[in-house]
Amino acid sequence: MDHLRADFPILERKVNGKRLAYLDSSATTQKPNQVIDAIGDYYRRYNSNVHRGAHTLADEATTAYEGARTKVAEFIGASSSDELVFTRGTTSSINMIAYGWGLNRLHPGDRILLTVMEHHANVVPWQLIAKHTGAELVYLELTDDFRVDLSTLDSVVDERLKIISVSGMSNVTGAFGPVAELVEAARRVGAIVIVDAAQSVPHLPTDVTAIGADFLAFSAHKMLGPTGIGALWGRREILEKMEPAEGGGEMITDVRLYESKWAPIPHKFEAGTPPIAQAVGFGAAVDYLDKVGMSEVRKHEIEITQYALDRLADVPDLTLVGPTDIAVRGGTVSFELGDVHPHDVATILDQEGVAVRAGHHCAKPLMRYLDVPATARASFYLYTVKEDIDQMVAGLHRAREIFGLV
C-alpha cells in the first residue's frame, strides 16, 4: 500500500524536524487529495443549499449530496439509501437513537445493556436517557484477554432488556465487540441492537444485512473523510417508527402552528441545512476506500498490526493493553511503558516526529475497570508503513533512556 501515501499531502510534513509518523488514526485519519479536492471543488463550482431549490446549483448540490448518501449506503451493504441518515458523527448518531427511540419508548425498569469497554459516546447518551425515562443501565465486563465477557449475558437477557449498544471495535484495546452474539441474544427478547461502528466500519469490510443489527453508527473523519459528518444506518422498519430527535427545516412535509408532519426517512432525521460539502467529501472517501478494497485494508492492517505487536513485545517494560490475537482485534494498540506516564511517552515520541495519543481515550469506565489511569495508543490505517512503527519503537527506547529505565 506504500504507493497510496503520495495521495496524503500531510504525510510529507516534518514534525519537530523529523519525518511525521502519524499513528493516531483512531482519533482521526488523514485525508487523501481526492477528498480534499472534492470539497474544494464543491465550494468553487456548485455550492448551494439542497432540496429546496429550483435552480441549477441547487440541483447539482442536491444530486451530489444524495449521490454521496447512495455511495455510503452501498459501502456498508445497505439495501437502500433511505436507510442511511447523514449525521454529524458517531456521537450524534447515537444521541439521535437515544433521544429518538429511547426517550420516546423507554419506561422505568427497562434496561439498556452496554459493555465496560464503550467509548463515552456510547455511555453518556444512555445515562442521559436513563435519567429522563427511569430506565437502567447494565454492563457486560471483560475477560482477561480484554474481550467482552459473555458468561453473564443470559442473566440480563429478559423482557426488561430493550436496547443493546456495543462497540464493533474498542478504540482503546482494539478488541472486536461480540456483535453477532448480542444480536442473537437481542432477538430472543425483541431488544434492538446498536453497533458503535466508529472503529469498525473504517477498518473492516462491512455488510449491514449480514450483521443483523438494527443500527450502525460511524464517522466520516475516521475513514478518510472530512470532520463534521457521520452516518446512522438503521433498519427501515425501525427508522420508520423512530421519532426525530431534532426538529427544523427539511425534515417535515408540513408544519402548522401546533403540530407538524414528518418527511419520509431518511429526511425526517436531517433537520436543517445538512453538512453538504462534508457529504461530498464523505462520498469521495468511500470511493477511495472502495477502490482500494476493504479486504485489502484489513489485510494491510493485519500485517502492520502484527509487525507492531512483535516489535513492541521486544521493548522492555512495555505492557500491551489489549488482546494479542490478531484475529480478534484491529490496528489500535494501547500500551504502558514502565512508570513513564503515557503523556510523557507521547511528548517524547512527538519530539521524534511520532504522533500517538495518551490518556483515557474517552473511555474512562474502561480505564477504571482495567485499573490503568491512562495508556499510550498507536493506531494504524491503510497509509501506515513499517517505518512508522520502527520510528515509534526507537522513540520508546529513547523514552526509557530519558526516564532512566535502561
Ligand X SMILES: Cc1ncc(COP(=O)(O)O)c(C=O)c1O
Q: Which of residues 122-161 bind ligand X (CB under 6 A)?
A: 122
Q: Where are the alpha helices (DSSP H) in 235-353?
A: 236-241, 276-292, 294-313, 342-351
3-class SS at 202?
coil
Q: In this structure, what DSSP letter does residue 353 have?
A: T
Tell me, residue by residue from 219 to 258, as one string, x for binding to other proteins by CB under 8 A and - for no binding.
Answer: ---------------------------------xxx----
Contact status, residue 64 vs residue 76, Cβ threshold 8 Å: no
User: Which residue in this structure is represented by grid cell 431549490?
Assistant: 53
Q: State the Cα–Cα distance between residues 397 and 403, nearest whole angstrom.
A: 10
Contact status, residue 165 vs residue 112, Cβ threshold 8 Å: yes
Amino acid (1-letter code) at residue 153: L
Among 243, 313, 373, 386, indicate the residue that binds other proteins (CB under 8 A): 373
Is 167 a residue that touches ligand X (CB under 6 A)? yes
User: For residues 123 and 135, which CB has a smaller minimum distance to ligand X in the complex?
Assistant: 123
Q: State the Cα–Cα distance between residues 262 and 245, nearest whole angstrom.
A: 12
Among 348, 376, 385, 393, indicate the residue that binds other proteins (CB under 8 A): 348
Chain centroid, CA 88 distance in Å:
12
Contact partner, 373, from ligand X, other proteins, a second copy, none, Cβ < 5-8 Å per class: other proteins
Site for a second copy in 149-168 (CB under 8 A): none
Catalytic residue among 130, 358, 362, 389: 362
Q: In this structure, what DSSP letter does residue 258 have?
A: S
Among 119, 162, 300, 357, indicate the residue that binds ligand X (CB under 6 A): 119
Tell me, residue by residue from 251 to 290, as one string, x for binding to other proteins by CB under 8 A and - for no binding.
Answer: -xxx--------x---x-----------------------
Is 295 a residue that touches a second copy (CB under 8 A)? no
Among 14, 44, 54, 144, indicate the residue that binds other proteins (CB under 8 A): 54
The verdict on whether 367 is a catalytic residue reads no
Closest CA to 130 of 171, 160, 154: 160
Contact status, residue 384 vs residue 356, Cβ threshold 8 Å: no
Grid cell listed for 75:
459501502
Is 89 a residue that touches ligand X (CB under 6 A)? yes
> What are the beta bridge partners of residue 196?
167, 217
Return residues touching ligand X (CB under 6 A): 26, 89-91, 119, 121-122, 167, 171, 196, 198-199, 219, 230, 249, 272-273, 362
Contacts with other proteins by CB under 8 A lie at 51-52, 54, 59, 252-254, 263, 267, 339-344, 347-348, 351, 358-360, 364, 367, 373-374, 398, 402-404
